[in-house]
Structure 1
């Protein structure tokens, strides 16, 4: 079968309404599980593989909790090189670079540095925002369907919006300049005075009294919730829909014929496939390389801390503190803070100075949380970050039925369900809900 085979399969799907593709999705984090859901919804036979013992045990496990369309700007920007230099040598620096004898790291860093321009950052904001808005719509659809089937996917969701707070007037002014652009793209935001920030979130009172709030930007339609809970419960839901979820299955290679992958090998099994989706977070880099595809994705290590949040002491509105470089979300009776970024390879060791820096920032912002600091639970994980701050979604490489859904970085929760729906449209040949051209891998090779 030649390159036209996948087109033939798509035509059959559209024409017959009953033709079933065998699709293997590798990775059971938020990206892989939502992808499996969307493909199963379209009536296909889906096998979901993960090397871990369950769903949502890697990057999705303890992230900052924000589903923030207002927070989709790439990390790379004109201020980043100066900040990196200023923070050199600090064990608790918000951003740390640990150079390795790793060509992939150096190539990624060179690509990343070329994106540290205001124009390059602006180029990715609107595509990311469109994907975030699609994610919001798909999560609403998932909620409606699972509730109608008496199996709601509960995940400590909050719809109080996200409030960005700024310590300095110049940073507040710079951020406010983007509000009109976002509004034209479909996202409403409100500028708030320091006093209005406290009115919205009374837990910010101590910071206000210390003069640490110059103003804020509130996006009322943004949300927050526990990504790991959502992933685990949606994984259970897709199994009820007929998806075969096989945990503890590490992919060791691919069976191929011509320009197609015909099977996915693990140590114990060979899974036949009409299409393959690689959605394994940082593990996608290795898997794609097995299929002859190099992708500009590299791990960026981050930390989070989870504290008890009983009563009214902890904040209820999800927050981004632009000065402290942390995000904070109330997850039921827990408070989750996430922060720091380290480009240092695939090391997942939890370094207490860096972990405690996230806790210290939390207590500094909310002194009232110091009483429960002794109960802190620390976590670290690797974000699969593309060099330009947007995910890589779509077909890649010489195999016409190989697809990528990776590179979301810190935006996996914000962009995940939309990425899954858009990719499922592309695989199945159905009417696209979103143009995937801005997310294709070819963008990295255009001059």
Structure 2
């Protein structure tokens, strides 16, 4: 079967890998000059299935009001007259209930755990290297109130059989020795020892080479403009360089996916939520993190990637905005220098931002559409790296006519019309 994949980030490339491995004739199209050059390029680097949690939670509306006035706010809202933004925010608020939080988190963890297992198989099968580490993730709480509030998350982890440890300050320092040099308040932490880290861009680039060796074709520097629909489904993708025909089409364009499928009558509630990162060269090994630490107060991840530290986070709702404000960089530097002082050279840090494709329930949209040969693999938000391999394997199985290995009925676009 001929399969066209639209989008060359980690989601599109993993889809190309699995589909070409399954024997399909795969063509991937992306406007960038190579794989993984947008949202996949400099994300936080953690692969953390157990921390797969919805942004929409019962306490978020109250917290959001507080965050608006914080100097180093984890959430930045720039409201404007944008129907897509307003609709998405309303849907997000609608998911801020205890019942929906537990429901959304459970399916996110299900897909994320499966994805981590698939990643391990890919690594074993291909031998690719991407500054990977298997040293767990530590969610650090600066206040007792934060620590006391983890009961609902621990309940989901325990129910799903995800290994975890609740730590005091001493335990946090044992897990991340660099914290011994920090003067920050540390009330405790929640550690998931089975989590991993790695450079998403390095992985995506290496896996694209593997997919090529399996017969996949990559057409970079080519922009997808629209899809042509016929009586039996999608007949072709129209690009700025011609027409690409296929038997099946996978939309993996991240935040740009809704614009492509809107003319087909599909309402895809994916909105760009901007994130920022800095990449800092390590200068003091003993002071640097050994894996990933999640700074709960600022919603920032600090990850060890080889001889670098990646610091990523924040959620800015401001549309398709590529600006790099210095005040956002200062927030990232504040978290790193407060927890791992003098670990890296901030003067040599590189600053980056990317548009995360977020759904209101934080669960990606993975699966078929009402159009028979059109599939979606998008909306992964902050967890594209964590969920990439699992989502791609699900799509490959569906297109190949095989039943997916996990429950997928609640992952598709149909859940928004139920």
Q: Normalization by structure 2: what TM-score?
A: 0.96
The equivalent residue for 2:207 is 234
- Distance in 1 between residues matched to 2:167 and 2:68, nearest whole Å: 34
2:284 maps to 1:284: no
Q: CA deviation at 1:125?
A: 1.3
Structure 1: tracts of 5 or more residues without a match: 1-20, 147-151
2:164 maps to 1:184: no
Is the 2:73–2:298 contact (alpha carbons within 8 Å) kept by the matching residues of 1? no
Moved over 6 A (4+): none
The equivalent residue for 1:218 is 191
- Distance in 2 between residues matched to 1:93 and 1:432, nearest whole Å: 40
User: Aligned to 2:399, what secondary structure does the other structure show?
Assistant: helix
Query: 1:5-34 CA distances to partner (integer Å, 9 max, x unpaired)?
Result: xxxxxxxxxxxxxxxx10000011111100
Q: 1:86-235 residue pairs with structure 2 within 5 A?
A: 86-88=66-68, 92-146=72-126, 152-207=127-182, 209-210=183-184, 212-235=185-208
2:247 maps to 1:274: yes
2:373 maps to 1:401: yes
Q: CA deviation at 1:91?
A: 6.4
Q: 1:304-383 residue pairs with structure 2 within 5 A?
A: 304-310=277-283, 311-369=285-343, 372-383=345-356
- Distance in 2 between residues matched to 1:327 and 1:118, nearest whole Å: 25
The equivalent residue for 1:31 is 11
User: Aligned to 1:271, what secondary structure does the other structure show?
Assistant: strand
Is the 1:91–1:354 contact (alpha carbons within 8 Å) kept by the matching residues of 2? no
- Distance in 2 between residues matched to 1:318 and 1:195, nearest whole Å: 17
Worse-superposed segment, 74-83 or 331-340 = 74-83
Worse-superposed segment, 107-116 or 371-380 = 371-380
- Distance in 2 between residues matched to 1:223 and 1:435, nearest whole Å: 24
Q: CA deviation at 1:350?
A: 1.0
Q: CA deviation at 1:205?
A: 1.1
Worse-superposed segment, 60-69 or 131-140 = 131-140
Query: 1:36-74 CA distances to partner (integer Å, 9 max, x unpaired)?
Result: 111111100000010111100111011110100111110
The equivalent residue for 2:230 is 257
Q: CA deviation at 1:256?
A: 2.5
- Do the aligned partners of residues 92 and 164 (structure 1) sit closer, same or farther apart at CA in structure 2, a change above 3 Å counting? closer
Is the 2:258–2:268 contact (alpha carbons within 8 Å) kept by the matching residues of 1? yes
Name which of 55, 76, 79 aligns with 2:56: 76
RMSD across aligned positions (CA): 1.5
Is the 2:223–2:240 contact (alpha carbons within 8 Å) kept by the matching residues of 1? yes
Q: CA deviation at 1:176?
A: 4.3
Is the 2:179–2:287 contact (alpha carbons within 8 Å) kept by the matching residues of 1? no
- Distance in 1 between residues matched to 2:194 and 2:340, nearest whole Å: 24
2:397 maps to 1:425: yes
The equivalent residue for 1:294 is 267
The equivalent residue for 2:45 is 65
Q: CA deviation at 1:180?
A: 4.2
Structure 2: tracts of 5 or more residues without a match: none
Is the 1:73–1:122 contact (alpha carbons within 8 Å) kept by the matching residues of 2? no
2:386 maps to 1:411: no
Is the 2:50–2:113 contact (alpha carbons within 8 Å) kept by the matching residues of 1? no
- Distance in 1 between residues matched to 2:156 and 2:338, nearest whole Å: 33
Q: CA deviation at 1:266?
A: 0.8
User: Aligned to 2:391, what secondary structure does the other structure show?
Assistant: helix
Q: Normalization by structure 1: what TM-score?
A: 0.90
- Distance in 1 between residues matched to 2:336 and 2:170, nearest whole Å: 20
User: Aligned to 1:48, what secondary structure does the other structure show?
Assistant: strand
Count of residue correspondences:
417
Is the 1:305–1:378 contact (alpha carbons within 8 Å) kept by the matching residues of 2? yes
